[in-house]
Structure 1
Amino acid sequence: MKPIGKDYVKKKYDQVVPGGIDEWPVVSLSNNRDAFIKEVTAESIKRIKKLTPKRSSLIEEIETTLFREKLRVKRNPWAVDPPDEADFLQSIKDRLLEISTNDDKEDIDETLEDILSEIIERYASEIAGNFKKSRYRMARSIVTFGFARLLNASRARGFWSIFSTRYSLQDKIHITGEVEELRTLAKKGTIIMVPTHFSNLDSILIGWVISALGLPAFIYGAGLNLFNIKIFAYFMESLGAYKVDRRKKNLLYLETLKSYSSLAIQKGCHSLFFPGGTRSRSGQIEKRLKLGLLSTAIEAQRVNYQKGKRDGLHKIFIVPVTLNYNFVLEAPSLIREYLRLKGQERYYVENDEYSTSYKISAFLLKFFTKGSDISVSIGRGLDVLGNYVDTDGNSYDKSGRQIDTQEYFTKDGKIISHDQQREDEYTRMLSDRIVEEFHRINKVFASHLVAFVAFEMLQKKFNKLDLYNFLRIPEEDQIIPYEEFKAVFQTVLRRVHEMYNKGEVSVSPYLTGDPDKIIAHGLANVGMYHAKRPLIKNKKGDIYTQDLNLLFYYHNRLVGYNLEKYV
């Protein structure tokens, strides 16, 4: 077996951009925010008109948008929503009514143009980030200095340990994988980072990782719901986030969002978005990705080629990242929601436990003074077609043959202006490759493995029950004799090691050595902050669960590797 030692390097990285923060593309974008919003608005209007070439189809699309927006305001309002939203929507409705009684086609077209422009500009202004250098520096200082102080206080002894610099966040958050390749590619082109998504903390975590690696700030799509939480709103604004409102499903909004992403990438802004679209409700690594924002990478690459930008600086690189936790803050509410949606209302969803700044702050304090580590796995760089690239940015197909990605956007020696069908297919290809990479670079923790084995053993014992009836089995049936558990655990562990040797998955250094110690480590860490633990030992030393739903959630992290047949 390949040796599994300490899998991260603790070091201070120099800044990738030697000119400092003023040279960052995101700073230029922020300095010209108003002009960029106008550019996004114009591009979005052009897209929408292309999709709705007839006057009647445009009117229908605006009416659909109005209906959905009024429904959203009524049924699902958020604190972060603008206070004048109802008035704005009413004004749109009034003008649409005027159009319906107007016979002057030129007047109708002019009014439609005004309505469309107002809606799109409003969307673009809402989406647009507002990166500020001073805030960025302050946020970075709060995270790196404040949490490092807590970390030193917890790991060293005595009052003065709080001022120690022995431990840094890299001792708590382990950055592993293709770090140097990422830094090199960031100098040669535009990076689009695509992480897995399990927790609301992911955005702050990945923002810190980007800063710690000496990379310039990325723009990234953060759920607008996060801006309801003040502590998140501050960090998101500071770290270059643009806002994504998952409630808005209308064409006008989605095209504006895609225009924003594509134009920013074309301007060389490194970008980050969670391709799963939202947090994984089941705890499973994403299998189906949202293709909307992902397609903007394909589009931006094609536009760069159209503009004659052939040098490496205008090549776009996709970098998959997995965030590996022993526990997820919101797991109880996420798995309830998953079961409710899957089980057709048989489960009731409660509010997110971590929905206020106070609760988030309390958790962060607990996390940095106790608890287990987080691992962030950086994958190999890909081009927009999903091919691996080397550190010079050259693309290679599955046979290891160097290829020119421009050829995939060329027909008869000319760059294709726009072939939606072809770009849709490229987006699907890229999506499939990202999912493959997620599973390859996913780091198996002992906590994941004990949860997987325990849940599979219990489910096989009650294999005639469907999932929902199984999740209701009585407590006395949720106990597994330790020796039985250990035997199965060792079998599955051997298979995980085989997969690791083949490069099919990554593993934690804690997954080597004495099986009893590995199991003990897994039990100590899995879902460690939940009031009801997903897995624990009883007084007899046997394994049992205090919450079968939570055990299901943590088990799901290893679904997709065909490990079930080894249980």
Structure 2
Amino acid sequence: MDIQEKKNKNKKYKPILEGIPDWPVYKLSKNRKEFIEEVAQKSFNRVKELRASTKQLVDELEATVYREQQRMKRNRWRADPQDEPKFWSKVKEDLQALSGKTEEEQQEKANEILKRIVTRYADEIAGNFKPSRYRLAREVIKFWFARLLNGARVKKFGAFWRNQYTLRDKIHIVGKVKQLRRLARKGTVVMVPTHFSNLDSILIGWVIHSLGLPAFIYGAGLNLFNIKIFAYFMNSLGAYKVDRRKKNMPYLETLKLYSTLALQKGAHSLFFPGGTRSRSGMIEKQLKLGLLSSTVEAQRDAYLDAKPGEEVRKIFIVPVTLNYHFVLEAPDLIEDYLSSKGQDRYMPEQDRYGSWQLIQFMFKFFTKGSSISVSIGKGLDIMGNYVDDEGNSIDEHGRSINTRDYFITNGQLSADRQREDEYTRMLSQKIVSEYHRINRVFASHLVAFVAFTMWQKRHPKLDLFSLLRLPEEDLTLPYEEFRDTCKRVRKQIYRMKIENKVNIASHLKGDIDEVIKRGLYNVGIFHLKRPLLRNRDGNIITRDLNVLYYYQNRLVGYELDKFIGQ
């Protein structure tokens, strides 16, 4: 463990706000009804602005009803409201009744239907943070995880109940922790982590609490609410729901405005800009711009609404990478990725894991030697510029800049959707760059990448799918050759670390045989078919090349394959 890990592991952070009543998320939840009404009204106005004529609005409403009814027919979830079929049937009837009415009557009725829809969406999306349930959920997580850790480390049962170890033994928080805490005092923080597992939301929630930060509002996928234990914790922690099956304009605008208004009210926020868990195992290369654009809109509105001379609360974007040796859902995720690769079609998010399977996984995780690393990146403004510890924006030449200037046209502050779309793209590109820079390379990532790439280069005429169909007996690597290649690739990773292009876990250092041993032990540790292991002859083999492909993808994008010969 390096110096930074030890310092962050042992440090106890005081809360930056004394009591829960001071938390922005609490104030938001306290006025939940009024907030939902405000979101619905602004969503109504936005859709009306985008669909100005009566015909355009009716067409949009009809398309919304059709998509919702198709969704209910093809892809119902346990978390869906029970009255959905009844609600949308009534909306469809009301739309059909518009025929034969005057345009003025159609307009009035269409407006009423739209208001009903966006109000329902706003209520579905809205979180429900409750201090008592938050405290209970927080203590349950801490107690349960801590006991699992202690039970794994001691032989006597009685010691299971004593706090000998903490979650910091398993979860290593590194990076710009001090800056994150300072920025949370000075403005509104939007944390944007990578997304690999259903554990991510609870993990980040624990990290936020551990660092002494007030609770953040969560943009949590509705699929998590299918799992009872996750639903309880998400509801208790004030998560707002993101339903990625819904692609219609009224829903997307309502979701976006929920995030925008919450940020304007100072609520620290967290969402996964990749949209869903990485199916391939790669670090996200392209981000969803919808929720990300809400940060730009919220900052612009803050400038527009400010009185002359009033100091405006800035919004800070903080990239975070979550680094796992093992992802429970990897076999199913990579199957989805491979089945959809090259096809431009939506893959519905399905979870084959219920509460019991996740409990089993978490028990195995905390009773084995595997660990998690959470890397906190430098703070950014909404244009993607770095900010210093005081929250001042710094351009690439080291000059101080004012983000307010980005919203000025002809000497006046103004809204320009096309211009702000470009700002959002710039921000997304910077976040992706930061993901790769702060990513921590684990021994499991190294061995998976080296082994898969060696097999790939030994069969240069095979495409990916042909390679994945090779029989196991054709997939063996002599250990000495594998060892030398790992050593060479690790040396390049060291160079990249010096150039600030990537980060590394402390366990990647030291004797290469020990590093390989650790990597082989951890990669796919809980899968029934191990993706990488040594056979009786000591050589490297695989039992599941598809899953190995998932894990090796973590190092795609660094051009390390150039250091692996055929």
TM-score by length of 2: 0.96
Question: In the alignment, which of 143, 146, 155 is matched to residue 145 of structure 1?
Answer: 143
418-427 or 91-100: bigger deviation: 91-100
Q: Are 1:532 and 2:532 matched, yes or no?
A: no
Q: Shift of residue 455 of structure 1?
A: 0.3
Letter in 2 for 1:320: P
Q: What is the CA–CA distance in structure 2 between the aligned matches of 1:434 and 1:24, rounded to whole Å?
A: 27
Given that residues 5 and 172 in structure 2 are in contact (C-alpha distance below 8 angstroms), is that contact kept between their aligned partners in structure 1?
no
Amino acid corresponding to residue 178 of structure 1 in structure 2: K
- Given the alignment, which residue of 404, 407, 426 partners 1:406? 404
Q: Please name the residue that 2:170 is paired with.
A: 172
CA contact (8 A) 1:69 1:248 kept: yes
- Find the residue that maps to 2:10 and give its secondary structure: coil
The equivalent residue for 2:320 is 321
- C-alpha distance in 2 between matches for 1:239 and 1:117: 28
Alignment partner, residue 28 of structure 2: 29
In structure 2, what is the Cα distance between the partners aligned to 1:413 and 1:381?
29
* 2:373 aligned counterpart, secondary structure: strand
In structure 2, the partner of 1:190 is 188
Query: 1:259, 1:308 → 2: CA distance?
Result: 19
Query: Helix, strand or coil for the counterpart of 1:91?
Result: helix
Counterpart residue number, 2:484: 487
Describe the SS at the equivalent of 2:173. Answer: strand
Does the 8 A contact of 1:340 with 1:349 survive in 2? no
Structure 1 residues 363-512: aligned runs within 5 Å: 363-416=361-414, 418-512=415-509
SS in 2 for 1:448: helix
What residue is the counterpart of 2:253 in the other structure? 255
Q: Where does residue 300 of structure 1 map in the other structure?
A: 298
| 1:215-294 pair list within 5 angstroms | 215-294=213-292
> 1-side partners of 2:97 and 2:317: how far apart?
48
Rounded to whole Å, the distance in 1 between the matches of 2:274 and 2:348 is 21
- Asked if the contact 1:336–1:349 (Cα under 8 Å) also holds between the matched residues in 2, the reply is no
> Is the contact made by 2:306 and 2:312 (CA closer than 8 Å) also made in structure 1?
no
Query: SS where residue 317 of structure 1 aligns?
Result: strand
The answer to whether the Cα contact below 8 Å between 1:395 and 1:402 also exists between their aligned partners in 2 is yes
Q: In the TM superposition, what are the counterparts of 1:1-20 in structure 2 within 5 Å?
A: 6=6, 8-18=8-18, 20=19
C-alpha separation in 1, matches of 2:115 and 2:258 = 15
AA aligned opposite 2:480: E
Instruction: Please list every run of at least 4 consecutive aligned residues from structure 1 whose deviation after the TM superposition is greater than 6 angstroms.
Output: 2-5, 309-313, 348-351
Instruction: Check the 8 A contact 2:65/2:88 in 1, yes or no.
Output: yes
User: Retained in 2: the 8 A contact 1:4–1:512?
Assistant: no
Inter-partner Cα distance in structure 1 for 2:508 and 2:354: 36
Letter in 2 for 1:11: K
Distance 1:461 1:4, change over 3 A: farther
CA distance in 2, matches of 1:329, 1:246: 21
Give the partner amino acid of 1:137.
R
For the structure 1 residues 350 and 127, does the alpha-carbon distance in structure 2 shift closer, same or farther, using more than 3 Å as the test?
Answer: closer
2:95 is aligned to: 96
> Which stretch of the first structure deviates more once superposed, 4-13 or 269-278?
4-13
Structure 2 counterpart of 1:330: 329
In structure 2, distance between residues paired with 1:522 and 1:431: 32
Q: Residue type of the partner of 1:521?
A: R
Residue type of the partner of 1:239? L
Amino acid corresponding to residue 484 of structure 1 in structure 2: E
- The aligned amino acid for 1:325 is Y
Distance in 1 between the 2:343 and 2:411 partners?
A: 53
Rounded Cα–Cα distance in structure 2 between residues aligned with 1:407 and 1:164: 56
**Could you list the per-position Cα deviations for residues 80-110 of structure 1 after superposition, in whole angstroms to 9, with x for gaps in the alignment?**
11111111111111111111221x2222122
Q: Distance in 2 between matches of 1:424 and 1:373?
A: 38
Deviations 1:422-457 (A, max 9, x none): 100000000000000000000000000000000000
Measure the CA separation in 2 of the matches of 1:79 and 1:21. 32
Give ranges in structure 2 of 5+ residues lacking alignment.
Answer: none
Closer/same/farther in 2, CA of residues 8 and 523 from structure 1, 3 Å limit: farther
Q: Which residue of 2 aligns with 1:513?
A: 510
Out of 152, 161, 164, which is 1:154 matched to? 152
Q: What does the per-residue CA deviation read over 1:119-164, in whole Å, with 9 as the maximum and x for residues that have no partner?
A: 0001000000001101110110011112111211211332222222
SS for the counterpart of 1:191 is: strand
- How far apart are 1:413 and its partner, in Å? 2.8
CA RMSD of aligned residues (A): 1.7
Residues 7, 176 of structure 1: 8 Å contact kept = no
TM-score by length of 1: 0.96
- Aligned equivalents of 2:401, 2:80: Cα separation in 1: 47
Partner SS state of residue 375, structure 1 = strand
Quick check: 1:276–1:289 contact (8 Å CA) kept in 2? yes
Percentage identity across paired residues of the two chains: 59
